[in-house]
Amino acid sequence: MITALKGLASGVARGKLYFEEYQPSWAEAGRRAVLVLQRAIPQAAEIIHTGSTSVPGMYAKPLIDMLVGMREGAELSPSLPELSRLGLQEFGEIIPGDRVFYLNDPDSGKRLLHVHIVPWRTESWYRYVDLTDFLQADERARQAYIYLKKALLLRYEDRPMLYNPAKSQFLADLQADAKAWRAMQETGGEP
């Protein structure tokens, strides 16, 4: 897995909040990670590159977020040894039903990848998909999120553990907007 991502995402060092302007190489890192994860987790229904690095023009932490949707009834446990062989380590459940793994570069120690494993086509799945799609489609929402990230970087650069709590209400509102946007897309623009 490390080889597939080398040179495509610079990663995030522990103890620092850091962002970069959008890099086209992040899309290639996402494509490569999908291929590697498809081989490692054949029981997955769908695997996609998600999050800020998948949104052209977005300001982002240079680590790749992957979303793995598991079919109903699929067990993750058979793929755990394979994920471990790829260098992925289990982080645990950040949000109930969202099992997270991460990958650190052994040379730099920087975190390169997060893998979120959730039930496919559930509320957990769409929380990621809707937000990513909405940010890709709505310039105003994307710019508001970039503005917030830049402001929080100034405040929390040396205290990254405060970044997620500081953006939680904005993100909850953005996710609600994304969910409403998805509903409008599905009904042809009718609320």
For 23, what's the count of Cα atoms within 13 Å in the CB-facing half-sphere? Answer: 17
Alpha helices in 50-103 (DSSP H): 80-85
- Per-residue pLDDT of the chain (191 residues), as tens digits, is 777 777 788 899 988 899 999 999 999 999 999 999 999 998 899 999 999 999 999 999 999 999 999 988 777 666 678 888 888 888 877 777 778 888 888 888 899 999 999 999 999 999 999 999 999 999 999 999 999 999 999 999 999 999 999 999 999 999 999 999 999 998 887 55
Pairing of strands 64-70, 111-119: parallel
Cβ count within 10 A of residue 137: 13
Say if 99 falls within a structural domain.
yes
Say if 7 falls within a structural domain.
yes
* Domain membership of residue 10 as a residue range: 2-186
Tokens describing residue 32: 């490569």
Say if 191 falls within a structural domain.
no
Entry pTM? 0.92
pLDDT at 97: 74
Backbone angles phi, psi at 80, to 5 degrees: -55, -45
Q: Rounded to whole angstroms, how far apart are CA atoms 82 and 12?
A: 24
Phi/psi class of residue 69: alpha, beta or left (left: φ > 0; alpha: ψ in -120 to 50)? beta
pLDDT at 190: 58
Q: For the chain, how many structural domains are there in total?
A: 1
pLDDT at 177: 97
SS3 category, 98: strand
Rounded to the nearest angstrom, the gap between the alpha carbon of residue 9 and the centroid of all alpha carbons in its chain is 13
Say if 138 falls within a structural domain.
yes
* Beta strand segments in the chain, E: 44-50, 64-70, 89-95, 98-104, 111-119
9: Cβ contacts below 8 Å, ≥ 6 apart: 23, 25, 26, 29, 53, 62, 63, 64, 112, 113
Tell me if 87 sits within 8 A of 1, measured CB to CB. yes
Say if 159 falls within a structural domain.
yes
- DSSP classification of residue 69: E
pLDDT at 107: 86
Q: Which CATH number is 107's domain given? A: 3.30.460.10
